[in-house]
Amino acid sequence: MSTIELSQFIRESAQNLGFSKFGIAPAKTDHQSTIRLNSWLQKGYHSTMYWLEKRADERGDISKYYPEAKSVISLGLNYFTGNTTPDSNVGKISNYAWGDDYHDVIKSRLYQLLGEIKTKYPKINGIACVDTSPIMEKDWAQKAGIGWIGKHTNIITRDYGSWLFLGEILLDVELEFDKPFDDDLCGSCTACLDACPTNAFPEPYVLDASKCISYLTIEHRGDLPTEFEDKLSGWIFGCDICQEVCPWNITFSQLSTENSFQPRENLKERKLEKWEKLTEEEFRILFKKSAVKRTKFVGLKRNIALLEKNSSKNPN
């Protein structure tokens, strides 16, 4: 078994499983990435997402998470199925949550790929990771040559923009490594920073989650801080503003062919008045196997109520 043959087998297997992007990086800790992570945590930009700090050592040093790791395979799956509606009377849900829960879709695909590797090469060991694992996905994607981290802190690619779910497989063997993506193709553009209604970016490439609409509508528990109550811009779950205004997304996004990510019926165009009548039973049925369950029924109703409140104040 040569390193080149093994790497090519994995690349072809990933392509056959429908992955949109693929790259391999050596499992070596980047101390600059660790410093940036620790600085971000020390400034409290993770807000109440305490799990990020609890496993910061592993997140910042891959050898502490999986000591046997020698190669990090980064994979991307295009999930774009269209932009949200500009209709101000619609309760908007982030594109990534229109279909089935991406954790389940990606994890299943990663396990399939890992299974194929181990079937052909039984002596190889590895683990599959999604964003619930303590791993800096976007950093590894950049190191594997998939794309660059944009000013909105998402990975951007030349062929799909930033509409990608990421996943990783860590293996205990060295593979043929791809060149890291060293160019920053954002240039002088600040479209994403300028469009954010809550000024969630204290500086380019840095996100203060406590001000991010996605965090506020999904992860934040209880009442929202007063200063953000009227700044949700129609969103009841997540937010795509910084991605929708990105020139790379406007020009290069491609519609996903993944059936699992296609919008559930009446989800994109559902009016606020209909959302206001949502019952807990309907919530369970509508969002079965959906990422929207993350915010729970009470959280979604809170977001809907705030939009209703603000739309009545500003009927036009």
The ranges assigned to domains in the chain are 3-85+94-171, 191-313
Q: What pLDDT, on the 0 to 100 scale, is given for residue 313?
A: 63
Q: What pLDDT, on the 0 to 100 scale, is given for residue 303?
A: 97
**Contact (Cβ atoms closer than 8 angstroms) between residue 116 and residue 197:** no
Q: What pLDDT, on the 0 to 100 scale, is given for residue 60?
A: 95
Q: Is 316 a residue whose pLDDT tops 80?
A: no
Comparing CA positions, the residue from 135, 115, 13 lying closest to residue 69 is: 135
Q: How far apart are CA 99 and CA 218, in angstroms?
A: 17
Query: What predicted TM-score, i.e. pTM, was given to this entire model?
Result: 0.94
Residues designated catalytic: 131
Residue 191 structure tokens? 């479209």
**Contact (Cβ atoms closer than 8 angstroms) between residue 216 and residue 228:** yes
Comparing CA positions, the residue from 21, 105, 93, 5 lying closest to residue 295 is: 93
Residue 256 structure tokens? 């996903």
User: For all residues of the chain together, what is the average pLDDT?
Assistant: 95
Q: Is 315 a residue whose pLDDT tops 90?
A: no
Q: What pLDDT, on the 0 to 100 scale, is given for residue 314?
A: 60
Q: Is 93 a residue whose pLDDT tops 90?
A: yes
